[in-house]
Amino acid sequence: MMKKMSTSTVLAGIALIGVAGLYYLHFSGKSKIAFVRSNELVYGYEGMKEAHLLQEEKTQQYQANLDTLQADFQKALNAYQQGLSGFSKEERAAKEKMLAMQQENLKRYSAGVEESVQKNDQDLTQGILNQINSFIEGYAKTHNYTLIFGTTSSGNILYGEPAIDITEEVLKQLNEHYKNPPKSDDKTH
């Protein structure tokens, strides 16, 4: 029993020392802490805007292909319905089989397009977030930040002094970095 009590006392002491250390670093001027408004940063990023435009173009191309397939199916269906009375049983069965296959292909293509659009969107978003996170890491090191928080709609940070909100500054430099990336291994932010 005594051993458990001293272990928990030691752990509480370590936690207290850790908090005191962070407090000292923050208020001694040796650390810098800031936050960015994550949604504004992500959606204000030129890379995100460009990626969304490219994704939209792909989606429109998929939709144009889907519209063509649907129009072809509709033409085939109309032709079948118009010639229905003149078909023999064998012709009718063959045309119905062909229509069923065409309709099934249309459904598969549509489902594939939807899945592809979702996957592309997820990959695009993850890629953009990776770019932003990498940039912020370099930015923090270059500007001697110990910690940069990101606010989200789920409420990670409920309030922050406007003086430590660096969203606009980071967004400006992030977009400059996007428009004019460093030439080699230069990661100056």
pLDDT in tens, 166-180: 999 999 999 999 998
* Closest to 175 measured CA to CA, from 56, 34, 37, 41: 41
In a domain, 114, yes or no: yes
- Give the per-residue pLDDT at 5: 45
- Give the per-residue pLDDT at 3: 41
- Give the per-residue pLDDT at 90: 93
The pLDDT of residue 110 is above 50: yes
- Give the per-residue pLDDT at 77: 93
pLDDT digits (tens, 9 = 90+) for 64-101: 999 999 999 999 999 999 988 888 999 999 999 999 99
Q: Between 9 and 128, whose confidence is greater? A: 128
3-state secondary structure of 166: coil
In a domain, 75, yes or no: yes
Per the structure, the count of domains in the chain is 1
Q: Using CA of residue 132, residue 134, residue 138, residue 144, what is the dihedral sign?
A: positive
Q: Is 120 exposed, middle or buried (0-12, 13-18, 19+ CB in 10 A)?
A: middle
In a domain, 16, yes or no: no
Per-residue pLDDT band at 159 (split at 50, 70, 90): confident
In a domain, 125, yes or no: yes
Top-ranked range on mean pLDDT: pick from 12-26, 108-122, 142-156: 108-122
- Give the per-residue pLDDT at 84: 85
Q: Report the predicted TM-score, pTM, of the whole model to 2 decimal places.
A: 0.67
**What average pLDDT is seen over the chain?**
84
Cβ contact 62:113 at 8 Å:
yes
Domain containing residue 69: 31-179
In a domain, 22, yes or no: no
In a domain, 173, yes or no: yes
In a domain, 157, yes or no: yes
Only one residue has tokens 């923050």, namely: 26
Neighbouring residues of 66: CB distance < 8 A, sequence distance ≥ 6: 106, 109, 110, 113
Q: Between 30 and 131, whose confidence is greater? A: 131
In a domain, 19, yes or no: no
CATH number of the domain where residue 158 is located: 3.30.910.20
